[in-house]
Amino acid sequence: MVERRKPIKVNEAITKVMNFAKSGMVEYVPIEESYGRFLGEAILADHHVPPFDRSPYDGFALKSADTKMASSKNALSFEVIGEIGAGSVFNEPVGDNEAVRIMTGAQIPNDCDAVIMFESVKEYVQDGKDYFQLKRKLQPGDNISFAGEDTTKGTVLVFKGTYITPGIVAVLATFGYKKVPVSVKPKIGIIATGSELLDVDEPLKPGKIRNSNAYMVYAQVIRAGGEPIYFGQFNDEFETCYHKVKDSLEKVDFLITTGGVSVGDFDFLPAIYEKLGASVLFNKIGMRPGSVTTVAEIDGKLLFGLSGNPSACYVGFELYTRPIIRTFLHANAAFLKKEVAILGADFPKPNPFDRFVRGHLSYETGRLVATPVGLDKSNVVTSLAEANILIVLPGGTRGYEMGMEVSVILLEDQEGTTFENFTTADVNSRRRQRTYE
Ligand SMILES: Nc1nc2c(c(=O)[nH]1)N[C@H]1C(S)=C(S)[C@@H](COP(=O)(O)OP(=O)(O)OC[C@H]3O[C@@H](n4cnc5c(N)ncnc54)[C@H](O)[C@@H]3O)O[C@H]1N2
Ligand code: MOO
Ligand SMILES: [Mg+2]
pLDDT at 2 (0 to 100): 85
Same domain, 156 and 287: no
* Edge-to-edge order in the sheet of strand 122-126: 114-117, 59-62, 98-102, 76-84, 129-134, 122-126
Q: Tell me, yes or no, whether 282 lies in a domain.
A: yes
Query: How far apart are the CA of 297 and the centre of ligand 1, in A?
Result: 22
Mutate to test the pocket of ligand 1, among 266, 292, 314, 356 (most ligand atoms within 8 A of CB): 292
pLDDT (0 to 100) of residue 437: 44
Give the helix/strand (H/E) hosting 168.
helix 166-174
Ligand 1 and 196: CB distance under 6 A: yes
For the stretch 384-418, pLDDT in tens is: 999 999 999 999 888 899 999 999 999 999 999 99
User: pLDDT value at position 396?
Assistant: 86
d(CA 380, CA 358): 10
- Average pLDDT estimate for 413-430: 85
Q: Domain check: are 272 and 394 in the same one?
A: no
| pLDDT greater than 80 at residue 353 | yes
In a domain, 208, yes or no: yes
- Inter-helix orientation angle 269-276/238-249, to 10°: 50
Q: Are residues 292 and 201 in the same domain?
A: yes
Total number of domains constituting the chain: 4
Look at residue 435 and tell me whether its pLDDT is greater than 70. no
Instruction: Kindly report the protein residue whose alpha carbon is nearest to atom 41 of ligand 1.
Output: 196
Give the 3-state secondary structure of 274-302.
Answer: HHHCCEEEECCECEECCCCCEEEEECCEE
Q: What percent of the chain has pLDDT over 90?
A: 93
- Rounded to whole angstroms, the maximal C-alpha distance in the chain is 109
Residue 302 maps to a domain: yes
pLDDT of residue 147: 98
Are 177 and 264 members of one domain? no
Confidence of residue 26 (pLDDT cuts 50, 70, 90): very high
Q: What share of the chain is helix, strand, coil (3-state, %, to 5)?
A: 20, 35, 45
Give residue-wise pLDDT tens across range 197-213: 999 999 999 999 999 99
Give domain status of residue 3, yes or no. no
Predicted confidence (pLDDT) at residue 422 exceeds the cutoff of 80: yes
CA 60–ligand 2 middle distance (angstroms): 71
The CATH code of the domain that includes 177 is 3.90.105.10
Pairing of strands 26-30, 43-44: unpaired
Final residue belonging to a domain, choices 305, 328, 351: 328
CA–CA separation, 70 and 136 (whole Å): 5
What was the pLDDT predicted at 433?
A: 47
User: For residue range 33-44, what is the model confidence (pLDDT) as tens digits?
Assistant: 999 999 999 999
Task: Check if 379 has its Cβ closer than 6 Å to any atom of ligand 1.
Answer: yes
Say whether both 391 and 426 belong to one domain: yes
My answer on whether 346 and 297 are in the same domain is no
State which of 285, 291, 351, 354 you would mutate to test the pocket of ligand 2, scoring each by most atoms of that ligand within 8 A of its C-beta.
291
Whether residues 308 and 203 fall in one domain: yes
Residues 174 and 85 in one domain: no
Q: What percent of the chain has pLDDT over 70?
A: 98
In a domain, residue 146? The reply is: no
DSSP state, 225?
Answer: T
Residues 127 and 166 in one domain: no
The answer to whether 304 and 193 are in contact (CB under 8 A) is: no
Predicted-complex ipTM score:
0.98
- Among the residue ranges 152-166, 283-297, 420-434, the one predicted with the least confidence is 420-434
Supply the CATH number for residue 363's domain. 2.40.340.10
Which atom of ligand 1 lies nearest, measured to the CA of 284?
A: 7
pLDDT at residue 426, as a whole number? 84
Indicate if 120 and 267 belong to the same structural domain.
Answer: no
- Is the per-residue pLDDT at 429 higher than 60? no
By CB neighbour count within 10 A (0-12 exposed, 13-18 middle, 19+ buried), where does 398 fall?
exposed
Cα 86 to middle of ligand 2, angstroms = 63
437 lies in a domain? no
**Nearest residue to 51 via CA among 148, 180, 132:** 148
Which ligand minimizes its atom distance to the CA of 315?
Answer: 2
213 lines ligand 1 (CB under 6 A): yes
- If asked whether residues 417 and 270 sit together in one domain, one would say no
Averaged pLDDT of the chain: 96
- Which CATH number fits the domain that encloses residue 82? 2.170.190.11
- Asked whether the predicted pLDDT for residue 366 surpasses 70, the reply is yes
Range of the domain at 130: 59-134
**Does any domain span residue 203?**
yes
Q: What are the tens digits of pLDDT across the range 66-95? A: 999 999 999 999 999 999 999 999 999 999
Cα radius of gyration (the chain): 31
Domain stop point among 298, 328, 358: 328
* pLDDT > 80? residue 1: no
> Distance between CA atoms of 107 and 279, rounded to whole angstroms?
65
Nearest to 331, CA basis, from 409, 422, 254, 250 = 422
Instruction: Specify if 144 maps to a domain.
Output: no
Together in a domain, 263 and 196: yes
Are the beta carbons of 335 and 419 closer than 8 angstroms? yes
260 CA from centroid of ligand 1 (Å): 7
Confidence of residue 427 (pLDDT cuts 50, 70, 90): confident
Q: Which of 284, 295, 307, 356 to mutate to test the pocket of ligand 1 (most atoms within 8 A of CB)?
A: 307
- Residues 136-151 have a mean pLDDT of 98
Closest by alpha carbon to 216, among 324, 309, 331, 336?
Answer: 309
Ranges of H-type helices in 258-417: 269-276, 310-316, 322-328
Ligand nearest to the CA of 213: 1
Question: pLDDT tens across 221-232, in order?
Answer: 999 999 999 999
Is residue 85 in contact with ligand 1, taking CB distance under 6 Å?
A: no
Sign of CA dihedral 376, 386, 323, 417: negative
Q: What is the position in ligand 2's atom list of the atom closest to the CA of 292?
A: 1
Q: What is the CATH number of the domain that holds 258?
A: 3.40.980.10
* 304 contacts 248 by C-beta, under 8 angstroms: no
Ligand 1 proximity of 394 Cβ (cutoff 6 Å) = no
pLDDT digits over 293-312, tens only?
999 999 999 999 999 999 99
**What pLDDT is recorded for position 428?**
59
Summarize the confidence of residues 234-242 as an average pLDDT. 98
User: In what helix (H) or strand (E) does residue 218 lie, and over which residues does it extend?
Assistant: helix 213-224
- For residue 193, CA distances in Å to 225, 259, 319, 328 come to 24, 6, 21, 26
- In terms of Cα–Cα distance, which of 143, 144, 312 is closest to 217? 312
Q: Which residues line ligand 2 (CB under 6 A)?
A: 288-292, 307, 309, 312, 378
Kindly tell me if the per-residue pLDDT of 273 is higher than 70.
Answer: yes
What DSSP string runs through 25-68? -EEEEEGGG-TTSBBSS-EE--S-BSSS-B-SSSEEEE-GGGGT
